[in-house]
Amino acid sequence: MYERYWLLSRRPFNAPGECANESLAAPQQALLEKLRFSLLDSNGVAAVTGFPGTGKTTLAGCLAREMRHRGGHVAWTITSVFDASSLLRHYAQQLLPGNSPTKTSSLSPALLQDQLQERMLEQGGKYLLLVDEAQSLNEDSLALLKRLVETAAQPMLQTNPPRLQVSLLLTGHAVLRDIVRESPSGFGTLVTPFALDTLKRDQTGPYLEQALRAAGGQQTYFDESAVDRLFRESRGNLRLLNRLADLSLLAGFVRRRASITEAEVEAALQEVALPQAA
């Protein structure tokens, strides 16, 4: 459908968590620039909050990809409930060579933390730690993350350029800001907060056009009636907008349309369970 009918080189709209920089929406692009400076170019801790579907996981994926391209190390965990011990084991499995789930389960949290910090100090380089759904982290987990980030603050490492860089990105719901700010460990003093908003109407059309152009599109695919309806039904939620736009292209393909109108969006709506208005 994408290649033969719509003459695209690939699927145009990012799946959840999938990163294609040229297909990011305007709010994501603007925030990605800030996060690059805060987390990839120096030691830093950032918390990105927003409604589900606004693109937080996609941003994390973009940063992880860029850190790997720079030769850095990435450890990423997505969790609904995580204590400090579980978090530490997940990071150890990703960052310590030869650490399988079976091996890490037999080691005490204190020993795992020592091994992880020793590895960072010995190897040096850049580390990016990510936690998605971070509003579920407890106080012990926040204290652990603070200790890991502060590994790079030891005086012996204060060289130019830095011998060791450890950055952390937390993503989650709006309550994450309060959890971080009120942490007794003082974790909140390290964190730069950011919010990721939904798209506005005047950003929706350009975003769709940009995503389609990035996928090789050479025409106008969605007329104004379609863009209006897509925005109205998605309320600017990027995940839902992408889903509806993709299904609208499918409806246009089935109906052999040259472009997408509100009628094709209406057909797409029959395939999606929309969230109830607040």
Structural domain that includes position 45: 26-195
pLDDT confidence of residue 276: 53
Task: Please identify, among 145, 169, 195, the residue that sits at the C-terminal boundary of a domain.
Answer: 195
Count of the separate structural domains present in the chain: 2
Burial class, 158, CB count within 10 angstroms (exposed 0-12 / middle 13-18 / buried 19+): exposed
User: Cα 215–63–32 angle (5° rounding)?
Assistant: 75
User: What is the average per-residue pLDDT within 57-70?
Assistant: 92
Q: In this structure, are 11 and 31 located in the same domain?
A: no
pLDDT digits (tens, 9 = 90+) for 43-63: 899 999 999 999 999 999 999
Is the model's pLDDT at 28 over the cut of 50?
A: yes
Task: Please identify, among 162, 195, 228, the residue that sits at the C-terminal boundary of a domain.
Answer: 195
Residue 278 lies in a domain: no
Q: How many CB atoms lie within 10 A of CB 96?
A: 17
How confident is the prediction for the chain on average, in pLDDT?
88
pLDDT digits (tens, 9 = 90+) for 189-221: 999 999 999 999 999 999 999 999 989 999 999
Q: Measuring CA to CA, which residue among 213, 198, 171 is closest to residue 12? A: 213
Is the model's pLDDT at 278 over the cut of 50?
A: no
Is the model's pLDDT at 277 over the cut of 50?
A: no
User: What is the average per-residue pLDDT within 8-25?
Assistant: 78
Is the model's pLDDT at 16 over the cut of 70?
A: no
User: Cα 32–186–133 angle (5° rounding)?
Assistant: 45
Q: In this structure, are 258 and 168 located in the same domain?
A: no
Is the model's pLDDT at 99 over the cut of 70?
A: no
Q: In this structure, are 174 and 208 located in the same domain?
A: no
Q: In this structure, are 178 and 251 located in the same domain?
A: no
Q: pTM of the prediction?
A: 0.86
Helix axes 26-35, 56-69, angle to 10 degrees: 40
Q: In this structure, are 142 and 206 located in the same domain?
A: no
pLDDT confidence of residue 158: 58
Q: In this structure, are 153 and 116 located in the same domain?
A: yes
Distance between CA atoms of 11 and 14, rounded to whole angstroms?
8
Q: Which domain CATH number covers 129? A: 3.40.50.300
Q: In this structure, are 159 and 231 located in the same domain?
A: no
Q: In this structure, are 74 and 184 located in the same domain?
A: yes
pLDDT digits (tens, 9 = 90+) for 140-177: 999 999 999 988 776 555 566 678 899 999 999 999 99
User: What is the average per-residue pLDDT within 116-126?
Assistant: 88
Task: Please identify, among 134, 168, 195, the residue that sits at the C-terminal boundary of a domain.
Answer: 195
Distance between CA atoms of 38 and 230, rounded to whole angstroms?
34
